[in-house]
Amino acid sequence: MMSVNDKVQQEMYVVTIEELVPEEHLVRKIDKVIDFSFIRDLVKDLYCENNGRPSIDPVVLYKIIIISKVFGINSIRKTIKEIEVNIAYRWFLRIGLTGKVPHFSTISTNYHRRKFHEKEIEKKIFAKILSQAINHGLIKLEEVFADSTPVKANANKRKYVKAYINKVYREYEQELMEAINQDRIKHGLEPLKDKDDNGNNNTENPETIDNNENRENLEVGSNNTEEKKKEIKQSTTDPESGYFHKGEKEQCFAYTVTTVCDRNGFVLDCHVEAGNVHDSISFFPLYNRMKEKPYSQEIWYWVMDSAYKTPAICKKLIDDGYIPVLPYKRPMTKKEYFKKYEYVYDEFYDCYLCPNNKVLKYKTTDRKGYRLYESNPEDCAACPLRSKCINNKNNIKTVTRHVWANYVEEVDETRYKTYFNEIYNKRKETIERVFADGKENHGLRYTRKRGRKKVEADVTLIFACMNLKKLAMWLSKPRMS
């Protein structure tokens, strides 16, 4: 006989909320590793004293956001609904079985009216959790892993206007210009003058340079910026985001999140830029912050992908005493043409030798930091390898070499060291795992905030919660004696 049980149970039990939360639940593990009461001291000057109605505890407000990030609930409204029926969440918030859960609008109201984001509370929570991990000896700093990932902006990709932006001045611009002028003086040329208001360059013989149709660049796709105004798509919803397009990925407005983590996958710091800013440019603000950390002297290796293999980054890391671990970067030239490495540089005579053993002599050093080496047009006109080398009417082959190219060559030598493969292969277990876990489980795939600073605060809190989750799980495991 089939039984039916559809009656509502009206039984009464005498239990405490402490008994109803399992000992192995994640909220218990989190509660053991960190005391969030420090948040009250951070925001106390934003509240009135002995005036008005009692407010909701700011620790409760931030714990609600932490619940949403740790457990991957993609909105505060859904988080509040989960808290209403989840005993473990109620225990974590200290509101009991019958306590009133704050309305979801209270979170955003406090965030905007009290301007929590201006106090950088998220960064201080991140620093507190990271310091706990360091104190427990869980951070391994011999090598650090850096990379960036796009995060979709809260903006419609079809709502935009065309805008014009000026050249982005890189922080090493002045140092590069000094190196360029020193190189020009060394070769008997006059130093470059500052540009006029129209952006005109004062380099000699610009027609020869601009008409060269087969000019090769040592770092194609790197962080060289246009020297005049550039047209971009600017979102009308979130103007601070950037139009992102890479390979076969969806074109959309996004932010680029550059992140550094250690060997154990703990995030050490992050930096957010617009999605149309190249990785090698957004790297420097993050790197400068990392150098100021008290543990920066413990770092030996910086492990990154080929997007960061630029002369400026290589020079910066080597000059600061670090060892860059960067992969081979494939030459971005047409298949039927000779590759860059097939032109041999003679350092003693400062010239290049082409595959037909003809000399390419130094011509000039341009404003972007590249020495131009040009061939004799008479040699190229009668060369049997001409079809694989040049395709222009001038019969002039131009090869470029950056003034800091020796740093890139020094980095290339590390690929033959015994430690290279072991360290570089850790990327997929560390930084790539951080991004995959963040996007799949913690809401890193897209943001609900608008504006770079608010997005950076939100991303920082996501990484803080990921570190917190890892810290709680690791410390809950029994230690081996």
Sheet hosting strand 351-353, strand order edge to edge: 344-346, 351-353, 359-365, 370-374, 398-402
The tens digit of pLDDT for each residue in 57-72 reads 888 989 999 999 999 9
The tens digit of pLDDT for each residue in 414-464 reads 999 988 999 999 999 999 999 999 999 999 999 999 999 999 999 999 999
| pLDDT computed for residue 8 by the predictor | 65
| pLDDT computed for residue 193 by the predictor | 83
pLDDT level of residue 478 (50, 70, 90 thresholds) = confident
The tens digit of pLDDT for each residue in 351-380 reads 999 999 999 999 999 999 999 999 999 999
Q: Is the pLDDT of residue 52 over 50?
A: yes
pLDDT level of residue 342 (50, 70, 90 thresholds) = very high
Mean pLDDT on 22-36? 91
Between 235 and 6, the higher pLDDT residue: 235
| pLDDT computed for residue 1 by the predictor | 65
List the single range of 56-60, 93-97, 194-198 with lowest mean pLDDT: 194-198
| pLDDT computed for residue 178 by the predictor | 93
Q: Is the pLDDT of residue 197 over 50?
A: no
| pLDDT computed for residue 423 by the predictor | 93
pLDDT level of residue 56 (50, 70, 90 thresholds) = confident
| pLDDT computed for residue 217 by the predictor | 37
Delimit the domains of the chain by residue range.
17-119
pLDDT level of residue 9 (50, 70, 90 thresholds) = low
Q: For the chain, what is the mean pLDDT?
A: 85
Q: Is the pLDDT of residue 20 over 90?
A: no
Looking at mean pLDDT, say which of 36-45, 148-157, 222-231 comes out highest: 148-157
Q: Is the pLDDT of residue 211 over 80?
A: no
| pLDDT computed for residue 200 by the predictor | 53
The tens digit of pLDDT for each residue in 263-292 reads 999 999 999 999 998 888 999 999 999 999
| pLDDT computed for residue 167 by the predictor | 66
The tens digit of pLDDT for each residue in 246-257 reads 776 778 999 999
Mean pLDDT on 398-403? 94
| pLDDT computed for residue 170 by the predictor | 76
Q: Is the pLDDT of residue 220 over 50?
A: no
